[in-house]
Every structure is written in C-alpha cells, then in structure tokens.
Amino acid sequence: MICACEKMQQINMITSKNRDAFLDIAKGLAIILVVVGHVVQGSSESFDDLLWFRVIYSFHMPLFVFLSGAVAAIAFQSDSVQDGIGSTFRRAKTKISKASIRLLLPFLAWCVINQLIYHHSDSIFSALILAFRRPDTALWFLLAIFYCIALVSIFEIIFSVLNLLFQKAGLKTASKLLCDGRIQIILMVLIWWAIRDHTPRGAGVSLLRPYFIYYLLGMGFYKYIYLRLSIWKYLPAWIIFIALIPYWSRTAVDNIDGLTLIPAVPLYFYAGLVALSGSLMILNMAKWISETEIKPIRIFLILCGQLSLGIYALHYFFLAYSPKVLAPLLISVGLAYVINKIPVFRTILLGEK
C-alpha cells in the first residue's frame, strides 16, 4: 500500500516546483463547487430558486478568476518596468505566447471535441467561429483568463512607457511610485473602471467587463495581503456574505432582489461584494485546510486543484451519472489524471508542457 507521503510526492510530480498548496486547495474547492452547481442546475427546472445553486453561482466563477490572478501574482515583478520598453514588450510577448498554449490551445481543442460529440454546428470550423462569437458555448473561462493576461501585459507596456517619460522629465518620485506593484494594480483598477464600458464586445473580449476586476484583485490579494491574514481575519467576509446572499438572484437586475431600501450606489456594488466575500470564504477554508494535517482531504483537494482545467472540461459529459456530484467529479479527476500522463494530450487538452 502506498503511504500518504508517497501519494503526495506523486501528486507533486504533476506540477511545477513553484506551486503553492494553498492555491491548489482553493482551486480544488472551487472546481468542486463548479461541479456541484452544474449538477444542481441540471437536476431541477427551478434551479434558480434552490439555495445551493444561488450560493454557489453568486461567486464561483469570480473566485476562479480571482485565483487565476493570484497565480499570476507569483511571477508579477512590478519593478521590471524599469528595464525599458523593449524588454517589457518582449516579456509581454513571451507571457502571451505561453498563455496561448496554456489557455487558447485547450479552448480550441475542447471545442473541437464537443463538436465531434454533440454536433452543435455544421462543421468544426463553424463551431470554432461560434466559440469566439458566443464563448458560453465553449469553455469560456479559458478565453476570459487569456484576455486578462493579455490586458495586464498591455498595461505593463504602458507603465514602462510612462516610467521612461517620468525619468526623462526628472520626475524621480513619480517613477519610483510607478515601480510599486500596489500602485500599478490600483492604476489598472481605476483605468479599467473608467474604460470598461467602452471596450469591444467581439471575439469574447466582452468577458473582460465583469471579470478583469477580479483578476486584478486576486493579484493584489496574493501579492500584498494574503500572508498578513490569519484565519480569523476572514470573519468579516463570512458575515457580509451571509447577510447579503439571501437577496442574490441570477436573473434579477444587478443580481439583487428585494433590497429596495438601499441607495443606488451601494446596490451597484452589491453583486461584486457578494462575489468577493464568497470568494474570501473559500480562501479562508483553503487556508485552514492547508495549515492542518487532514491529509486525505488535503491531498484530494490539491489533486483537484492541479487538474482543475481537465475537471472543468470533462465533468459536463458525466453530469447525469449517479451518485450525483460524486460520480462526475471522480470520473473527471481520473480521466484528467490519465490525460496529464500522456504528453501530447497533456499539451493539447490541458495546456501543460
């Protein structure tokens, strides 16, 4: 029999040396919520009235984007804007090229597989066109994260240009501030908030509108806040989420139903606050699990986190299987693990080298 530590070593072989168990556990919890949410959605015509569905759908995809931003924060080097425009441009090109393999290739590959199985379109080519016109017909999340990476890269080039201008103008203080990652993230948030309603909608770029802000918040959280938060400091997120979730509705305007006494400005931020507080709740759970010695749960969640892309792509095929949730989850984990072991499939379907 293989002991727990040996199993852990096998799981660790799936990933790179730079991965954080906390992030993998959080992604594991997130992908399990995705499976649960889709099972609930497919089990009842009135799924919007079900508490579990409303709870999960209020934050599960913002959570995934938030975690993608957290992963990006590991390689985020704010002072690299001092290296010059050419260096920043080359770095952005490399980052986008890697994201194309990591995200766009699986996005296209699973679109082809779905077309071959379900024949949603007249041909594979028309299915690929449809996937960009309506990303919700494919694995839209991968396209959304790709655009987030590309947009951050564009911002980094802009900051590099600004830094050069500041240096030439002798504005050393401004140049120094611009090299601070916290300032860069705040600037990206503010600029994006100002321009997001004017961004293009074609080719799935509209996915940036609701989700890019969570990507930036994930970067800032993991880079500058995460290590300072003890488990108990997440308590306000629990209180906020529990207080607000009874009024959340997927079909209501601004996702809010029944809070007519609150002024318009707070209502505007309601859905975002629910999504963010719900995400922090899951991060709180992940932090607790990562710091405990409950090895079976910890190992399984890390595995789910490392295979989350494969689980995300595969579980749709098994949603009707019983026992509910357990069957689609475990089958998807098993198949994703096998795919991960076959180099060519690992690259094409999971975007991993």
CA 266 to CA 250: how far, in whole Å?
Answer: 18
Count how many residues are written for the chain. 353
Across 215-303, the runs of DSSP E, i.e. the strands, are none
Lowest mean pLDDT among 119-128, 141-150, 179-188: 119-128
How sure is the predictor about 250, in pLDDT bands with cuts at 50, 70 and 90? confident
pLDDT, tens only, 225-247: 998 989 999 999 999 999 999 88
- 8 Å CB contact between 85 and 159: no
Better pLDDT: 51 or 31: 31
Q: ω before 323 within 30° of 0 (cis)?
A: yes
Which residue matches tokens 């475990």? 330
pLDDT of residue 25: 96
pLDDT, tens only, 21-44: 999 999 999 999 999 999 988 887
CB atoms within 10 A of CB 18: 8
pLDDT of residue 69: 96
How is the chain split into domains, by residue range? 4-347
Does 330 have pLDDT greater than 80? Answer: yes
pLDDT of residue 13: 36
- 8 Å CB contact between 89 and 341: no
Provide the whole-model pTM. Answer: 0.90
Mean pLDDT of 169-186: 92
Which residue matches tokens 């906390």? 22
Q: Which amino acid is at 162?
A: L
The sign of the torsion formed by the CA atoms of 166, 167, 170, 171 equals: positive
Helix axes 140-168, 105-118, angle to 10 degrees: 160
Does 326 have pLDDT greater than 50? Answer: yes
Per-state percent for the chain, helix, strand, coil, to nearest 5: 80, 0, 20
pLDDT, tens only, 255-280: 887 665 555 545 668 889 999 999 99
pLDDT, tens only, 88-117: 999 999 999 999 999 999 999 999 999 998
